[in-house]
Amino acid sequence: MAPRDTGRRRRRRRGPSRACRLSITLSVTFSLVTAVVQGCDDDSPDPGAATASAVADDKVSQHASPGGSPQAARSPSPTPPAGPASPKPRPTRSAPPPAPLPRSPATKLSIPALSLDAPVVGLPLDRAGHPGTPPISKPRLVGWHQDGPAPGERGTALAVGHRDTATGPAVFLNISMLRPGNTVHVTRADRRTAVFTVDAVRTYEKADFPDKVVYGDRGRPELRLLTCGGRFDKKSGYAANVVVFAHLTEVRKA
């Protein structure tokens, strides 16, 4: 028996629409690509990412955060080996003092620190046995006491000069400015120069002048320079004497 025709056709069930099928296709494709990309990231790291990671580790190793431990810390550069130790300087020995010279009269006296050069003349002791002085009329002259040791001879030689006169400054005006280590050169008649090194400069009141300290023999060649100093009075003159103490340290050929 044939089916009854009601006059209406049954509607077919249609599948998804074309737009829907396209959307599903794109979704599936995107999922596959994402899976492939994730799989590649796991198997072969990106060189650029590795470089960035290494740079970050380097920073951490240099600037570790509090409580954290530095990663991949750089080892310190090796210290170059030290060279051989330089030898210690040997202590220098001072030159032995020159031997005393034989007697010979002094002819010239020079003091480089004062730019002083002056002739020397021999002087005897006065009637009272005191050292005399050069003539007032010759303010640039130095007097050597010829009755005592000669400069360079064993003992204490004495050279005297004026500080000033009525005409102005004289030969020993500035000997009070000498300091230890300065030198005094005395040229002798035997064409040798006795070089003396200053030890001290003292000023003594004439009333308390220490004869033994100034003129005493110390067992080696020494020299004293003597002039006036201290207060000046028109009637009595200077109240003190300036004394330069020196000893022989060198002998040169003139």
Q: Which residue has the higher pLDDT, 23 or 182?
A: 182
For residue 99, is pLDDT > 90? yes
Buried b vs exposed e over 165-197: b needs ≥16 C-beta within 10 Å? eeeeebbbbbbeebeeebbbbbbbeeebbbbbe
Helix (H, G, I), strand (E, B) or coil at 1: coil
Average pLDDT of span 18-45? 42
End-to-end CA distance of the chain: 168
- Output the pLDDT for position 128: 79
Q: What are the pLDDT digits (tens) for 226-251?
A: 999 999 988 889 999 999 999 999 99
Strands 106-111 and 116-123, bridge-based pairing? antiparallel
Q: Highest mean pLDDT range out of 43-47, 115-119, 125-129?
A: 115-119
Q: Please report, as a single letter, which amino acid is at residue 97.
A: P
Q: Give the Cα separation of 176 and 200 in Å (integer).
A: 10
Percentage with pLDDT > 70 across the chain: 63
- Output the pLDDT for position 234: 87
Q: What are the pLDDT digits (tens) for 136-177?
A: 999 999 999 999 999 999 999 999 999 999 999 999 999 999
Mean pLDDT over the full length of the chain = 77
Answer whether 141's CB lies under 8 Å from 171's CB. Answer: yes
The confidence band for 23, taking pLDDT boundaries of 50, 70 and 90, is very low
Distance of CA 221 to the CA centre of its chain: 36
Average pLDDT of span 109-113? 98
Q: What are the pLDDT digits (tens) for 70-95?
A: 444 455 555 555 555 555 656 556 77
CATH number of 106-253: 2.40.260.10
Q: Give the Cα separation of 77 and 79 in Å (integer).
A: 6
Q: Which residue has the higher pLDDT, 107 or 33?
A: 107
Query: Tokens 């209406």 sit at which residue?
Result: 8
For residue 30, is pLDDT > 50? no
- Output the pLDDT for position 254: 72
- Output the pLDDT for position 62: 38
Looking from the CA of 240 toward its CB, the CA atoms found within 13 Å total: 10
Neighbours of 254 (CB within 10 A): 13
Q: Where are the beta strands (DSSP E) in the chain?
A: 106-111, 116-123, 142-145, 155-160, 164-165, 168-169, 183-188, 192-205, 221-233, 237-253
